[in-house]
Amino acid sequence: MAHINVLSKEISELIAAGEVIERPASVIKELVENSIDSGATHITVEIKNGGTTYMRVTDDGCGMDYEDVPTAFLRHATSKIVTKSDLDDIHTLGFRGEALASVSAVARVEVMTKRKEETYGTLYTIEGSVEKSHEKSGCPDGTTIIIRDLFYNVPARAKFMKKDVTEANAISNIMQKITLSHPSVAFKFIRDNRMEFNSAGDGELFSAIYAVYGRDFARDLIQCDYEFSGVHVSGYVIKPLYSRNNRAFQNFFVNGRYVRSKLCSAALENAYSNLIMTGKFPACVLMIDLAPSAMDVNIHPAKAEVRFADEKNVSDAIYFGVKNALMNDGLIYEFELKPKTDWTKPIPEEPPVQQEMIFTPIEEIEKKEREITASRLVEASGGKSVDSIDKKNVVPSETSSGPQAKTVFTPPDEADTEDLPVVGIRPFEHFGESGVVAAKYEQRPVKIESKPAEPQKLESEVPVEGFKYISTGSFEKKTEPVQEKNPEPVDPLREEFPSIRVVGELFGLYVICESGGKMIMIDKHAAHERIIFERLRSRNCRQYSQSLLTGIKVLLTAEEIDAMESQQELLSDLGFSFDFSQRPCIVATAVPTFIMEADIEDIICEVANNLRMNKVNPQSGLLDDMLHTVACKSAIKANDKNSPEELQSLAEQVCYNENIRHCPHGRPVMFTMTKYNIDHQFKRT
């Protein structure tokens, strides 16, 4: 057996660094987390060549004292942990005291730091865990750390580094996660002298999402806010229609720390069950807040995973929080009308347009307004001169200040009309030179009564709620209070779709409806499939059960028959009834009415197979697969002939039932388009 040696400090430092620093992204993660723990509100990260040659992290945090800087680069040196009891109450991102020591072991590090109350800062350089300089220097408040030549002294690690673009993408991904987890901090990420993103730091999670992922992603989000058993879940989840092809956009943050968690991902995807298409995955940015003592963050060297003390509470909080958010949103989608673009043709370069700003003196505008008004007054007065008309009948109103402010005229008072010929006031539109429509009043001959007409006498008292009739022929408000009726609760779906009129069908599959100012297009197969699925899942289909005069005999395997016979109560809830006395066949004696026209034998075979596969626990997801199959095979098919009454009933069930928004396979059931958008396509707006 070989002799056992104690490793030198240099080798042990390199081994320890390898546990924390895997690539440039690991360095950025550790340094930015330290900046956040220091209380920084503005953090700038700059990298070059994927971070292999240059990384810089600048913050405006509390900084470090001159004496503490060398200590910060020692292993297990930290200001966040003092006693072992502190490990059960961790509120910071970093606490191990290994980040700076690990970075300095495999790179050339330069630190400039200064506390706000100090006059001078500190300049400190260290290479391969060996101190090179330590001196006072002038620098701004906060801390700036520059990392050069990562793994310069570990050629084996440097050899296995990925391409620069790959390493830079990994850093970008880390920065995105940190930006989302701390919306109150303004982050700036510079990649090879180019700004990649810049967050506002206004404390709004939506602003951080917008900065990181862009407008299109943020537009399709639904807000989530839910608390269950001491676990608070907040943030945003994506609408089912806009789900992604992978789980890369699933972001979970536990107490402000990004974590990878199969538990959280499974709870999220369960909430999207029957709403999302196969092969698609929901996206989210969810903040999970719970007591620090209810989790363990010390199970992973890079703190990328956590362990929960009560996993069921966390899973239920995520599931119900996301489910409630999806149900409250309504999940009604609008058509997206995008102009067709031919990407094969180059876009012609247009010459720059020089815009010239022309200002018209206010005196000229007022002069033209007076001329227009005078000419109309002369025309209206039968050819009289302007001087003979009492100009007090045309009163200019206050105009807005500015080079092109319009003079707007108000109608004269009733007392002033006595000096005018028989003239009334009628509004008209005037288009000025600027093309702006200005509301005017012009005078036109109208008949004016010499005295007001007397009020019409009412023979009997008119009952008006809250008012009483008096002898003068008018109404006055009662002095005694009128008892108000409690308003009936208004269904928001009835408000959104006040009335539904089926216009017709398109391509034998889509139902076109009109409701208020909207056009509704419904996929009748997907909608009917979801309606049947909801009925089956409610386990209340006994009322739809229809006895058969001639039973339908189906050949099954012994295992399938046993599974069916053991679940007779479940099958009765679904509307089925079977005779098991004719093995190896079973006889269907009753089936739900909504599958009467379907291939019943095929459906029974699918039900039997699903129950056989899920014989022990038929409540799990495989039962949903069975219900999917029954609903799909029983639903209306394309080009099926349906009466107007059937289509009207289908449309009302879709619009007034918030559960009918996606088919069981995740396809959308309906889309809406406003009249304004249609008018816009026809250039009517």
Domain that residue 279 falls in: 220-331
Percentage of the chain surpassing pLDDT 70? 67
Of 251, 257, 283, 258, the residue nearest 269 (C-alpha) = 283
| Boundary (domain end) residue, out of 181, 196, 211 | 196
The neighbouring-strand residues paired with 176 are none
Stretch among 8-12, 48-52, 159-163, 308-312 having the lowest mean pLDDT: 8-12
| C-alpha–C-alpha distance, residues 498 and 268, integer Å | 34
Stretch among 450-454, 555-559, 606-610 having the lowest mean pLDDT: 450-454
Same domain assignment for residues 513 and 386: no
Same domain assignment for residues 16 and 100: yes
| C-alpha–C-alpha distance, residues 459 and 170, integer Å | 87
Percentage of the chain surpassing pLDDT 90? 19
Inform me whether the pLDDT recorded for 652 exceeds 90: no
353 confidence band (pLDDT: 50, 70, 90): very low
Same domain assignment for residues 444 and 524: no
Q: 208 in a domain, yes or no?
A: no
Of 455 and 178, the one with more pLDDT: 178
Q: 215 in a domain, yes or no?
A: no
Same domain assignment for residues 309 and 392: no
Inform me whether the pLDDT recorded for 436 exceeds 50: no
Q: What is the CATH number of the domain that holds 662?
A: 3.30.1370.100
Going by their DSSP bridges, the two strands 518-523 and 510-515 should be labelled as antiparallel
Q: What is the CATH number of the domain that holds 150?
A: 3.30.565.10
Inform me whether the pLDDT recorded for 19 exceeds 70: no
Q: 84 in a domain, yes or no?
A: yes
Mean pLDDT of 314-333: 85
Name the burial class of residue 290, with classes exposed (0-12), middle (13-18) and buried (19+) by CB atoms within 10 angstroms of its CB: buried
DSSP 590-627: EEEGGGTTS-HHHHHHHHHHHHHHT-S-TTSHHHHHHH
Same domain assignment for residues 239 and 151: no
Inform me whether the pLDDT recorded for 446 exceeds 90: no
| Boundary (domain end) residue, out of 480, 514, 549 | 480
3-state secondary structure 23-73: CHHHHHHHHHHHHHHCCCCEEEEEEEHHHCCEEEEEECCCCCCCCHHHHHC
Q: 213 in a domain, yes or no?
A: no
Q: 679 in a domain, yes or no?
A: no
Residues in the chain: 685
pLDDT at 437: 38
Same domain assignment for residues 458 and 555: no
Mean pLDDT of 504-522: 88
Q: 240 in a domain, yes or no?
A: yes
Inform me whether the pLDDT recorded for 604 exceeds 80: yes
Same domain assignment for residues 445 and 574: no
Same domain assignment for residues 190 and 225: no
Helix (H, G, I), strand (E, B) or coil at 383: coil
Going by their DSSP bridges, the two strands 545-555 and 585-592 should be labelled as antiparallel
The amino acid sitting at 541 is: C
* Highest mean pLDDT pick, 2-16, 48-62, 449-463, 605-619: 48-62
676 confidence band (pLDDT: 50, 70, 90): confident
Mean pLDDT of 488-517: 81
Of 426 and 57, the one with more pLDDT: 57
Mean pLDDT of the chain: 75
Distances from the Cα of 17 to the Cα of 10, 92, 460, angstroms: 11, 21, 98
Same domain assignment for residues 399 and 430: yes
664 confidence band (pLDDT: 50, 70, 90): confident
Inform me whether the pLDDT recorded for 180 exceeds 90: yes
Q: 351 in a domain, yes or no?
A: no
Of 188, 200, 260, 196, the residue nearest 35 (C-alpha) = 188
Helix (H, G, I), strand (E, B) or coil at 357: coil
Inform me whether the pLDDT recorded for 404 exceeds 60: no
Indicate the Cα dihedral angle 418, 421, 426, 427, nearest 10°: -90
pLDDT digits (tens, 9 = 90+) for 193-212: 999 999 999 999 999 999 99
Inform me whether the pLDDT recorded for 142 exceeds 80: yes
Q: What is the CATH number of the domain that holds 236?
A: 3.30.230.10
Of 158 and 457, the one with more pLDDT: 158
Same domain assignment for residues 130 and 236: no
pLDDT digits (tens, 9 = 90+) for 244-298: 888 888 999 988 888 888 899 999 998 988 788 777 889 999 999 988 878 776 5
| C-alpha–C-alpha distance, residues 443 and 452, integer Å | 21
The amino acid sitting at 294 is: A
Same domain assignment for residues 663 and 623: yes
Output phi, psi for 557, to 5 deg: -80, 165
Domain count for the chain, please give it: 4
Mean pLDDT of 607-614: 78
| Boundary (domain end) residue, out of 311, 331, 351 | 331
Is residue 296 a contact partner of residue 261, using CB atoms and an 8 Å limit?
A: no
Q: 162 in a domain, yes or no?
A: yes
Same domain assignment for residues 327 and 368: no
Q: Does the global pTM surpass 0.85? A: no
pLDDT at 371: 75
pLDDT digits (tens, 9 = 90+) for 574-587: 888 888 888 888 89
